[in-house]
Amino acid sequence: MKNFKQIFKEAENKISGIAAAPGLVIARAYLFTKEKLEISDAEITDVEEAKRNLEEALQKSKKELNKIFSIAKEKMEGRRAAIFEAQMMILDDPILIKNITARIENEKKQPEFIVNDEISKYQHLMTNAHEAYMNERAHDIEDIKNRIIRNLQKKRWQSKITNDVIVVSDSLTPADTILLSRNNAKGFITDHGGLTSHAAIISRSLNIPAVVGTHKATQLIKEGDILAVDGFHGYVIINPNDEQKKFFVEKIDRLVQLQKGLEELKDKPAKTEDGREIHLMANVDVSGEVDLVITSGAKGIGLFRTEQILEEFGEFPTEDEQTEIYSSLASRIYPNPIIIRAFDIGGDKFKFLDFVEPNPFLGLRGIRLLLENEKLFKTQIRAVLRASKNKNILFMLPMISAIYEIRKSKEIIKTCMHELKHENQTFDKDIKTGIMVEVPSAAVMAQDFAKETDFLSIGTNDLIQYLMAVDRGNDLVSDLYQEFNPSVIRTISHVVTEAKKQHKEVSLCGEMAADTLAIPLLVGLGLASLSISPSTIPYAKRIIRSLSYSKAKALAEKCLTFSTEHEVTKEIEKFFEENSITRTRNII
């Protein structure tokens, strides 16, 4: 049988985008184009009538949004439904309404022209901010503007969907996403939008597969085309041929099989057959994912990537804003713990100011940038401390490569504690501070570093990149990005052994732990805590529960003797077969 690469990699009918919401679906395309609203700037004779029309349109818009808001609340978590509450507030903004009314009186033009002009001003301000978050909010404003204009023109929102379809659109507003999902939308594909776009967040909440940011879906896909959408990997096949269709249908069947019985595992421990319990925690990128963490049965958040807040905000949130974000996450996850990682800025992540580095991955990234910008670092530390009252927060430092970085950070944390004490603020004065082990120097020095810190967390995403000198995002060298390379597993083994010598906890939070094929090896290497994406937790738990720790240990010992990646992979595959363990790698 041909593998995925042979069938899809070079396929001309494949378009790639961002995997925004997991799932697989095949259905016909429905091109959702919003009717272009013609806006008239004709003069009016009856100002009072125009004002009445405006008032009616505002009321109607409010009523519509209220309805969408109540559907949203029913279907998803409250904080997310609040997107619509924010839109409703625009409708109640007294300054905006006063300006529009005054202009109708003075200029005597159609209200739709004035509404369009006034609200567009807000929009331009936001679009020009060149920040992802502000751009998303500009789309929300576009939605409310069009809603008012449509109601002034007495037109109705229409969707002609009758059968199950995959909605293809330039972009989708939160309201469209909700309404289309009520109208048999089984998948979403958009030209624009990122992981944090509302359409993406809502699709994840509603469990509808979505691929966003494809750039060209609306150009290449025609109404009625058959589409196969993979929301796990972020691609779409247009009119799949027989071979592709067969491959995809089999994939869906396997997914259905794999999902059977997973639900029941939620409240069961991730314990091996011979009684070793593995702490399965969740990696969280967007704060909205917490409901997924809770339903996944995770034992807490093993990595909260705070730099994602910067992507969402488009700037540095204040101390109070950060305190609120961290407190809310910590209380939602309580009594389980949350490991909040300090901003890992730089590399391929959120850019700080506009400076350009010739080699950003080896540049001012993570802890290096924070120590250079102490004020910024202190704001975050103070917010983390203020949120730590319930003692379920741990703090973690990214990209540690030298011991002085730990010492200096601890000094700054101490200073922040003194300040807060003077301000009579309560916080967890025994808060645990740990480090990421993701730079080879930290791995080599694991024991010395472990002495100075409370816990270690191995970040294989970067560790592999720096160990193998291979850019984690570069397709040209992706064959060398090998998680089962003997150098990688020997390094992990070294870190685990060295941390244990200091009786310090060590976990692993890179993507490697989400690769179900890697789990027996990682358990066998002695890791008792793994942090992975919430959606993979049930799969990982199932594997752990069907493992024997002593056999996994023997597997790891054997793998540590190999000198090629191929030998390691073969040995692991043999292990899965001999022990009849269901695997998911290369299956979904």
Could you list the active site residues? 198, 509
CB of 254 to ligand PEP, least distance (A): 28
Half-sphere CA count of 448, side-chain side, radius 13 A:
13
List the single partner that 305 binds among ligand PEP, Mg ion, none, CB under 5 to 8 Å by kind. Answer: ligand PEP
- Nearer to Mg ion by Cβ, of 310 and 547: the residue is 310
Measure the CA–CA gap between 105 and 46, rounded to whole angstroms: 10
Measure the CA–CA gap between 529 and 505, rounded to whole angstroms: 9
CB of 480 to ligand PEP, least distance (A): 17
Measure the CA–CA gap between 296 and 315, rounded to whole angstroms: 31
Residues 6 or more apart from 55 whose CB is under 8 A from it?
none
β pairing state of 18-21 and 210-212: antiparallel
CB of 503 to Mg ion, least distance (A): 25
Measure the CA–CA gap between 464 and 439, rounded to whole angstroms: 9
The closest residue (CB) to Mg ion is 462
Measure the CA–CA gap between 9 and 233, rounded to whole angstroms: 12
The closest residue (CB) to ligand PEP is 459
Q: What does each C-alpha distance from 557 to 103, 524, 552 come to in angstroms? A: 78, 8, 9
- Asked whether the beta carbons of 513 and 270 are under 8 A apart, the reply is no
List the single partner that 72 binds among ligand PEP, Mg ion, none, CB under 5 to 8 Å by kind. Answer: none
- Asked whether the beta carbons of 583 and 517 are under 8 A apart, the reply is yes
With b for 16 or more beta-carbon neighbours within 10 A and e for fewer, the 91-101 pattern comes to beeeebbeebb
List the single partner that 509 binds among Mg ion, ligand PEP, none, CB under 5 to 8 Å by kind. Answer: ligand PEP
Chain residues that interact with Mg ion, rule: CB under 5 A:
438, 459, 462
- Nearer to Mg ion by Cβ, of 240 and 302: the residue is 302
Q: What is the CA radius of gyration of the chain?
A: 26
- Nearer to ligand PEP by Cβ, of 29 and 458: the residue is 458
Residue 4: helix, strand or coil by DSSP?
helix
CB of 492 to ligand PEP, least distance (A): 12
CB of 438 to Mg ion, least distance (A): 5
CB of 562 to ligand PEP, least distance (A): 23
One-letter identity of residue 263: E
- Nearer to Mg ion by Cβ, of 307 and 462: the residue is 462
Which residue, chain included where needed, has tokens 């944390």? Answer: 413
Chain residues that interact with ligand PEP, rule: CB under 6 A:
303, 305, 344, 438, 459-462, 509-510
Measure the CA–CA gap between 508 and 437, rounded to whole angstroms: 9
CB of 284 to ligand PEP, least distance (A): 11
List the single partner that 142 binds among Mg ion, ligand PEP, none, CB under 5 to 8 Å by kind. Answer: none
- Nearer to ligand PEP by Cβ, of 202 and 464: the residue is 464
- Asked whether the beta carbons of 51 and 101 are under 8 A apart, the reply is yes
Measure the CA–CA gap between 543 and 309, rounded to whole angstroms: 33
Strand partners, 189: 168, 211
Q: What letter does residue 342 receive in the DSSP assignment?
A: P
Residue 487: alpha-carbon gap to chain centroid? 30
List the single partner that 510 binds among Mg ion, ligand PEP, none, CB under 5 to 8 Å by kind. Answer: ligand PEP
With b for 16 or more beta-carbon neighbours within 10 A and e for fewer, the 487-504 pattern comes to ebbbbbbbbbebbbebeb
CB of 159 to ligand PEP, least distance (A): 38
Measure the CA–CA gap between 465 and 474, rounded to whole angstroms: 10
Any idea what the Cα angle at residue 192 is, between residues 190 and 196, rounded to 5°? 100
